[in-house]
Amino acid sequence: MSTSKIIKAPYIQAQAASIFIAAGSTPQEADTVASNLVMANLSGHDSHGVGMLPRYIDAILEGGLKPNTAVKVTLDGGALIALDGQQGFGQVVGEQTMALGIERAKSLGSCILALGRAHHLGRIGHFAEMAVAQGLVSIHFVNVLSRPVVAPWGGGDGRFGTNPCCIGVPIKGQPPFLLDFATSRVAQGKMRVAHNEGRQVPPGYLIDPQGHPTTDPGVVVVPQKSGEGAGLFGALLPFGEHKGSGLAVACELLGGALTGGGTWHQPASTTRSVFNGMLSILIDPARLGTQNAFEHEAMAFVDWVRQSPDAAGTEHMQLAGDPERAARKLREREGFELDEATWQEIVAAGRKVGVSL
Ligand code: NAD
């Protein structure tokens, strides 16, 4: 079991930004990326937090991730926009994409955005939060081009990524519904965190390179060293059996094929960059003519669901978005844990670009 330290958000955000600046980002870009990663930690998703920094630095040094790159509109059809992320930071090109889509949805009532070739977009909920804050419904299908780390239901090896799906719905007078999840049983980054912490994971998450169930998160983090399957990775399983697997394939078809960003159909690559394609659908309820009914019905339904009594053995019933809001409150106040292995990886990444922490 490795040790961990408690980190305060402003401290790690400043350190991360200094590393991104040394790697070539403008101070503004460095701040956008660092604050996005720290917000993932604060939201309870350490898988998409500052632990991603070493991978981003490697990706810059390899040339796959291009700092200071803006999104390029390749087709502007009004409420239908295609965009090329041009291998820029997903945190940056993703925000630029959403800003354009929000403006269009507000003026036209809806907007479909097809973004390809963005470097890792991080926590997809961030983009839904941008739209929901403007009163819009925000739906996202995302594919991941990096390593086929998730097995299709019934399959014995990885064929696609953790392909996240996200739905944000504003609820009048209440915090928004914000469903944001990987279609794998768990996010790949959570296996990295568990591996770094020396933890086993519950059964049902993983298979080894031979397709056998395992609880060792290392099978999807490091190539297996010996025996049958040496040099290969195992795979994550999809959530919800054939249903999650089907949703993952839909994310690949919509986020990868339809956006033009590309799908995964090749053996694993060893490069450190990871690309996302994202199909986003924004709807302005105020322009749909159902605003009053929507506000009333959404509020009434959410209240109704929240009145469900706690099931035996559970802490309390929550709606999507609640856990992240609760984590933010706690972690902003008390800081969050960063395991020693992850911290050392960040220190080493800093060293690669001449920053000593
Ligand atoms: P998760 O399994 O914690 O699920 C998160 C979702 O479930 C959230 O909407 C949360 O509010 C809701 N939730 C959690 N516990 C709940 C409960 N008890 N009751 C009701 N709702 C609950 O998260 P995950 O699948 O590990 O995904 C984590 C993050 O990883 C997401 O932000 C996702 O966008 C991101 N991700 C990104 C990529 C990428 O390539 N960019 C790939 C995969 C995942």
- With the most atoms of ligand 1 within 8 angstroms of its CB, the residue from 36, 140, 180, 272 to mutate is 180
Ligand 1 atom nearest residue 182's Cα:
25
Output the CA 182–ligand 1 centroid distance in Å. 6
Output the CA 319–ligand 1 centroid distance in Å. 12
User: How far is the C-alpha of 191 from the C-alpha of 184, rounded, in Å?
Assistant: 11
Q: 81 and 141 share a domain?
A: yes
CATH number (domain holding residue 224):
3.30.60.50
Ligand 1, atom 21: nearest CA belongs to which residue? Answer: 320
CATH number (domain holding residue 303):
3.30.1370.60
Asked, for residue 318, whether it belongs to a domain, the answer is no
Q: 159 and 264 share a domain?
A: yes
Q: 38 and 166 share a domain?
A: no
Whether 159 and 237 have beta carbons less than 8 Å apart is answered as no
Q: 108 and 198 share a domain?
A: no
Q: 139 and 272 share a domain?
A: yes
Ligand 1, atom 10: nearest CA belongs to which residue? Answer: 320
- Of the pLDDT bands very low, low, confident and very high (cuts 50, 70, 90), residue 123 is very high
340-354 core/surface letters (b: 16 or more CB in 10 A; e: else)? ebbbebbeebbeebe
- Per-residue pLDDT tens over the stretch 212-258: 999 999 999 988 776 766 677 899 999 999 999 999 999 999 999 99
Match 């506000």 to its residue by tokens. 295
Structurally, the chain folds into a number of domains equal to 3
Asked, for residue 253, whether it belongs to a domain, the answer is no
Q: 174 and 279 share a domain?
A: yes
Q: 299 and 155 share a domain?
A: yes
CATH number (domain holding residue 335):
1.10.1530.10
Asked, for residue 251, whether it belongs to a domain, the answer is no
Whether 55 and 82 have beta carbons less than 8 Å apart is answered as no
- Per-residue pLDDT tens over the stretch 153-163: 999 999 999 99
Q: 56 and 109 share a domain?
A: no
Ligand 1, atom 27: nearest CA belongs to which residue? Answer: 181
0.85 exceeded by pTM: yes
Q: 171 and 224 share a domain?
A: no
Q: Which of 39-43, 74-78, 196-200 has the weakest average pLDDT?
A: 196-200
- With the most atoms of ligand 1 within 8 angstroms of its CB, the residue from 181, 185, 201, 280 to mutate is 181
Write out the residue range of the structural domain in which residue 51 sits.
Answer: 1-68+324-357
Output the CA 75–ligand 1 centroid distance in Å. 31
User: How far is the C-alpha of 201 from the C-alpha of 220, rounded, in Å?
Assistant: 12
Q: 191 and 153 share a domain?
A: no
**For ligand 1, which residues put their CB under 6 angstroms from it?**
45, 47-48, 120-125, 144, 162, 164, 166, 178-182, 186-187, 190, 276, 318-321, 323-324
For strands 235-236 and 137-145, give the pairing.
unpaired
Asked, for residue 63, whether it belongs to a domain, the answer is yes
Asked, for residue 263, whether it belongs to a domain, the answer is yes
Q: 202 and 162 share a domain?
A: no
- Per-residue pLDDT tens over the stretch 60-74: 999 999 999 999 999
Q: 138 and 214 share a domain?
A: no
User: How far is the C-alpha of 123 from the C-alpha of 86, rounded, in Å?
Assistant: 19
